[in-house]
Amino acid sequence: MKKPRGVHDILPGEVERWQHLEGVIRELTRVYGYREIRTPVFEFTELFQRGVGEETDIVAKEMYSFPDRRGRSLSLRPEGTAPVVRAFIENNLHTWPQPVKLYYTGPMFRYDRPQAWRYRQFHQFGVEVFGSADPAVDAEVIALLMEFYERIGLKELTLEINSVGCAECRADLTGALRNYFTSRLKELCRDCRARLGRNPLRLLDCKEEKCRGLAREAPVPLQFLCSRCEAHFQAVLKELETLNIGYAINPCLVRGLDYYTGTAFEVTVLDAGAQNALGGGGRYDNLVETCGGRPTPGVGFAVGLERTLYALEQQGVKLPGAASLEAFVATAGEVAAAKLSGVLRLLREAGIAADRDYTGRGLKGQLKQAHRRSARWVVILGDEELSRGNMAVRDMDTGEQAELPETELVRWLRTRQSKTDVLVKDY
Ligand code: AMP
Sorted by sequence, the CB contacts under 8 Å of residue 285 that are 6+ apart come out as 133, 166, 261, 262, 295, 297, 298
**Going by CA atoms, what residue is nearest to atom 12 of ligand 1?**
304
Q: Answer yes or no: is pLDDT of 44 > 50.
A: yes
Q: How many CB atoms lie within 10 A of CB 156?
A: 12
Q: Answer yes or no: is pLDDT of 225 > 90.
A: yes
Peptide bond into 4 cis (omega under 30): no
**Going by CA atoms, what residue is nearest to atom 14 of ligand 1?**
304
Does residue 317 contact residue 153 with C-beta atoms inside 8 Å?
Answer: yes
Q: Answer yes or no: is pLDDT of 424 > 80.
A: no
Q: Which atom of ligand 1 is nearest to the CA of 58?
A: 3
Distance CA 395, CA 416 (A): 9
Who wins on pLDDT, 324 or 244? 244
Q: Answer yes or no: is pLDDT of 426 > 90.
A: no
Could you give the strand order of the β-sheet that contains 42-44, starting from the edge strand earlier in sequence?
Answer: 42-44, 73-76, 65-67
The per-residue pLDDT for 125 is 98
The per-residue pLDDT for 422 is 39
Q: List ligand 1's pocket residues with C-beta within 6 A.
A: 79, 110, 112, 117-119, 122, 124, 256, 277-280, 302, 304, 306-307
Sorted by sequence, the CB contacts under 8 Å of residue 86 that are 6+ apart come out as 39, 43, 47, 51, 291
Q: Which atom of ligand 1 is nearest to the CA of 79?
A: 2
Top mutation candidate among 21, 258, 268, 307 for ligand 1, by most atoms within 8 Å of CB: 307
Whole-model pTM: value is 0.91
Distance CA 427, CA 424 (A): 7
pLDDT band at 351 (very low <50, low <70, confident <90, very high): very high
Q: Which atom of ligand 1 is nearest to the CA of 281?
A: 4
Q: Answer yes or no: is pLDDT of 128 > 80.
A: yes
Q: Which atom of ligand 1 is nearest to the CA of 277?
A: 10
**Going by CA atoms, what residue is nearest to atom 16 of ligand 1?**
118
Rounded to 5°, the CA angle 411-413-419 comes to 125
| pLDDT tens digits, one per residue of 19-34 | 999 999 999 999 999 9
**Going by CA atoms, what residue is nearest to atom 21 of ligand 1?**
118
The per-residue pLDDT for 261 is 93
- Determine which of 147-156, 196-205, 364-373 has the lowest per-residue pLDDT on average: 196-205
pLDDT band at 341 (very low <50, low <70, confident <90, very high): very high
Sorted by where each starts, the structural domains of the chain and their CATH numbers stand as: 15-166+226-314 (3.30.930.10), 327-420 (3.40.50.800)
Sorted by sequence, the CB contacts under 8 Å of residue 260 that are 6+ apart come out as 164, 254, 282, 283, 284
210-225: average pLDDT: 92
| pLDDT tens digits, one per residue of 84-102 | 999 999 999 999 999 999 9
Who wins on pLDDT, 331 or 274? 331
- Determine which of 65-74, 109-118, 278-287, 333-342 has the lowest per-residue pLDDT on average: 109-118
Q: Answer yes or no: is pLDDT of 147 > 90.
A: yes
Q: Answer yes or no: is pLDDT of 277 > 60.
A: yes
Please state, rounded to an integer, the average pLDDT across all residues of the chain: 93
Task: With CA atoms as reference, report the closest residue to 129 among 139, 115, 120, 119.
Answer: 139
274 C-alpha to ligand 1 centroid (Å):
12
Q: Answer yes or no: is pLDDT of 421 > 50.
A: no
Q: Answer yes or no: is pLDDT of 423 > 60.
A: no
Q: Is 139 helix (H, G, I), strand (E, B) or coil?
A: helix
Distance CA 301, CA 142 (A): 8
Strand 157-163 and strand 248-249: pairing?
A: parallel
Q: Which atom of ligand 1 is nearest to the CA of 118?
A: 20
414-422: average pLDDT: 66
Q: Answer yes or no: is pLDDT of 274 > 60.
A: no
